[in-house]
């Protein structure tokens, strides 16, 4: 899932200070699971900003809302009237949610309350770790199910490097060496011969280069005729 | 004009915290009448939104009173309560609001002397800091 972290309160308070009517919109998907922008976090931020405004004698209105998935227009549409009735939308979703609202209502100001961080998994309660960088060309079937791009500090395709020591990385001794983990996993799977195969340079054209990546599934797209039909129904 | 009475809200767990308050009253100890007690099943049930809501609604100071940490009826409830109080304190500090407005305390049901002490301490904080709202408005 997408893991995000709330910006420091002081930074958020400064961002919203000039605006009278502020709608704080959370999301019940990834950011709710990583405890950054769900129902409770929205409530907390609304209360905190109200206290700040009170403390500084500013008249501001804060309202908290939570939508099912802020990155999907259909869900955002449900709170359209509230968005229109605001001076500022403070998004407590990942950047995708904030940008979705921004694209739908380009005249409206949409500010982010979160810093969107990683594609991560929960390791234990309150701890999320990065396991994918979305390079667009997955190779974990050859690396024992462990991604060296995300988990190796040098994103090496042929490892481990000389900096691996006792299963730790030279970059930071707190960090596990991804290639040591790959070696151990392949040994467990009796596929250790894979580590000796030299991987050629990776095709990075599927990664973040050449502008925004757009994925299309043709059979799921609506034809012009179908789109017209939907418009007619609306 | 009479002096403004400070507003203190205390979230007390019904197992030990509230019993300490009841025992204090039964044993004839006095405490500041400015405290409003909110009975909760466990201090771990109190979360940041409850504390912030109390402040938002006009409390000058808020405390959470739970069982002693290694003697919690629900094992780790008072540890959870403390974590949330710490979260609120750091949030307030981040916003430039005095963090001492919010405190966590622990007591066992037999500590009758502790409840008046806590209330006195928080009432003093409330008096010293006054309302959060600029100009002294309560809401």
Q: Do A40 and B49 touch (CB under 8 A)?
A: yes
CA nearest B56 in A: which residue?
Answer: A51
What digits encode the pLDDT tens for the residues B11-64?
999 999 999 999 999 999 998 888 999 999 999 999 999 999 999 999 999 999
Report domain A2-118's class: alpha beta
Cα–Cα nearest to B103, from B79, B120, B122: B122
Distance (Å, whole) CA B5 – CA B14:
26
**What's the gap in Å between the CA of B19 and the closest CA on chain A?**
30
Q: CB-based contact (8 Å) between B55 and chain A?
A: yes
DSSP SS3 for A190: coil
Joined together, the tokens standing for residue A85 give 């009735």
Q: Would the pTM count as exceeding 0.90?
A: yes
Report the pLDDT value the prediction gives residue A111, as an integer from 0 to 100.
98
Tell me the percentage of chain B whose pLDDT exceeds 90: 85
pLDDT grade, residue A51 (50/70/90)? very high
Closest Cα of chain A to B134: distance in Å?
Answer: 5
**A38 pLDDT exceeds 90?**
yes
Does A61 touch chain B if contact means CB atoms closer than 8 Å? no
Each residue's pLDDT tens digit, B117-128: 999 999 999 999
Q: How many helices (H) and strands (E) does chain A have?
A: 9, 7
Q: What is the pLDDT of residue A209?
A: 77
User: Which residues form the domain of B109?
Assistant: 8-129
* Interface touch A48/B95, C-beta < 8 Å: yes
User: In this structure, is residue B1 part of a structural domain?
Assistant: no
Q: How many domains does chain B have?
A: 1
For chain A, which residues make up each domain, given as ranges?
Answer: 2-118, 135-196
Q: Would you call B136 an interface residue with chain A, using a CB distance cutoff of 8 Å?
A: no
A-chain residues near B102 (CB < 8 A): none
Question: What DSSP designation does A156 have?
Answer: -
pLDDT score, position B139: 47
Query: Does the beta-carbon distance from B134 to A55 stay under 8 Å?
Result: yes
Would the CB atoms of A47 and B56 count as touching at under 8 Å?
yes
ipTM over 0.85 threshold: yes
CATH code: domain of residue B44: 3.40.50
A window 15-34, beta carbon within 8 A of B:
none
Please indicate, yes or no, if residue B96 is contained in any of the structural domains.
yes
DSSP-derived pairing of the beta strands A114-124 and A2-6: antiparallel
Q: pLDDT for A206-224, tens place per residue?
A: 998 778 999 999 999 999 9
Domain-embedded: residue B3: no
Is B139 within the bounds of a domain?
no
What is chain A's mean pLDDT, rounded?
Answer: 95
Rounded to 10 deg, the angle between the B17-26 and B114-129 helix axes is 100
Tell me the shortest Cα–Cα distance from A14 to chain B, in angstroms: 10
Query: Which of A55, A63, A64 to mutate against chain B (most B CBs within 10 Å)?
Result: A55
Enter the DSSP assignment of A107: T
Distance of CA A3 to the CA centre of its chain: 5
Own/partner pairs for A190-193, CB < 8 Å, 24+ apart?
A191/A144
pLDDT(A185) > 60: yes
Is there a domain that residue B136 lies in? no
């Amino acid at each position: 899932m997408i893991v995000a972290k709330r910006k420091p309160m002081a930074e958020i308070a400064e961002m919203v200070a000039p605006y009278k009517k502020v709608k704080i919109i959370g999301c019940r998907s990834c950011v709710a699971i990583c405890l950054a922008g769900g129902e409770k976090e929205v409530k907390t931020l609304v209360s905190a900003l109200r206290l700040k405004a009170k403390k500084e004698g500013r008249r501001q209105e804060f309202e908290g809302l939570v939508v099912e998935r802020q990155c999907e227009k259909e869900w955002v549409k449900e709170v359209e009237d509230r968005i229109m009735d605001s001076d500022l939308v403070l998004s407590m979703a990942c950047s995708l949610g904030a940008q979705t609202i921004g694209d739908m209502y380009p005249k409206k100001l949409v500010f982010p309350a979160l810093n969107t961080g990683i594609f991560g998994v929960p390791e234990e309660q309150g701890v999320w770790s990065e396991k994918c960088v979305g390079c667009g060309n997955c190779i974990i079937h050859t690396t024992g199910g462990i991604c060296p791009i995300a988990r190796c500090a040098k994103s090496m395709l042929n490892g481990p490097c000389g900096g691996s020591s006792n299963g730790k990385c030279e970059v930071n001794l707190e960090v596990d060496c991804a290639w040591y983990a790959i070696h151990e996993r392949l040994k467990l799977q009796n596929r250790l011969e894979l580590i000796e195969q030299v991987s050629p340079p990776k095709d990075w054209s599927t990664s973040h280069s050449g502008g925004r990546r757009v994925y299309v599934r043709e059979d799921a797209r609506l034809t012009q005729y179908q789109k017209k039909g939907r418009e007619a129904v609306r | 004009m009479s002096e403004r009475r400070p507003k203190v809200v205390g979230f007390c767990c019904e197992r030990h915290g509230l019993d300490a308050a009841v025992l204090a009253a039964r044993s004839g100890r006095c405490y500041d009448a400015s405290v409003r007690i909110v009975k909760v099943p466990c201090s771990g049930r109190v979360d940041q939104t409850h504390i912030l809501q109390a402040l938002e609604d006009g409390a000058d100071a808020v405390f959470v009173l739970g069982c002693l940490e290694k003697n919690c009826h629900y094992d780790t409830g008072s540890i959870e309560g403390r974590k949330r109080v710490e979260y609120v304190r750091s949030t307030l500090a981040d916003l430039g609001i005095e963090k001492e407005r919010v405190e966590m305390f622990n007591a066992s049901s037999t500590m009758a002397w502790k409840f008046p002490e806590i209330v006195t301490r928080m009432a003093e904080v409330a008096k010293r800091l006054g309302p959060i709202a600029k100009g002294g408005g309560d809401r």
